[in-house]
């Protein structure tokens, strides 16, 4: 499954590069390349297809040069509950380790 992580890294790096490039292009006085032109350059260089609309949205939301957000809903475990859960796991692991000694 290492190839899945490698593919995610390639996509993430391509999106970072695309948003950075498009952001710099927008700051040019003549307007620079369009988002679709940037997407075409990125696809040619990296082999990763990034949507021009995605590039525009990420730059508009000020996510320039950052990794894309993870998919799915955010977790809703409060900090104190998560801490307690971790402490309980550690305690049970320690108890189990003492039994096997």
pLDDT tens for the chain, 101 residues: list them.
Answer: 667 788 889 999 999 999 999 999 988 888 789 999 999 999 999 999 999 999 999 999 888 988 887 778 888 888 899 899 999 999 988 888 877 76
pLDDT of residue 2: 62
What total number of domains does the chain contain? 1
Average per-residue pLDDT for the chain: 88
Q: Identify whether 95 is part of a domain.
A: no
Q: Identify whether 92 is part of a domain.
A: no
Which residue, 65, 67, 52, is CA-closest to 23? Answer: 65
What span, in angstroms and rounded, lies between the C-alpha atoms of 55 and 25?
Answer: 12
Which residue, 46, 12, 51, is CA-closest to 35? Answer: 51
Residue 6 structural domain: 2-68
Q: Identify whether 96 is part of a domain.
A: no
Q: Identify whether 100 is part of a domain.
A: no
Q: Identify whether 87 is part of a domain.
A: no
């Amino acid at each position: 499954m290492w190839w899945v992580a490698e593919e995610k890294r390639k996509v993430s790096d391509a999106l970072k590069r695309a948003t950075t490039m498009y952001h710099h292009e927008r700051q040019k006085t003549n307007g620079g390349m369009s988002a679709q032109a940037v997407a075409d350059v990125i696809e040619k260089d990296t082999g990763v297809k990034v949507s021009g609309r995605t590039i525009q949205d990420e730059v508009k939301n000020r996510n320039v040069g950052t990794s894309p957000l993870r998919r799915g809903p955010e977790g809703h475990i409060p900090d104190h509950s998560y801490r307690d859960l971790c402490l309980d796991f550690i305690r049970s692991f320690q108890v189990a380790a003492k039994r096997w000694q």
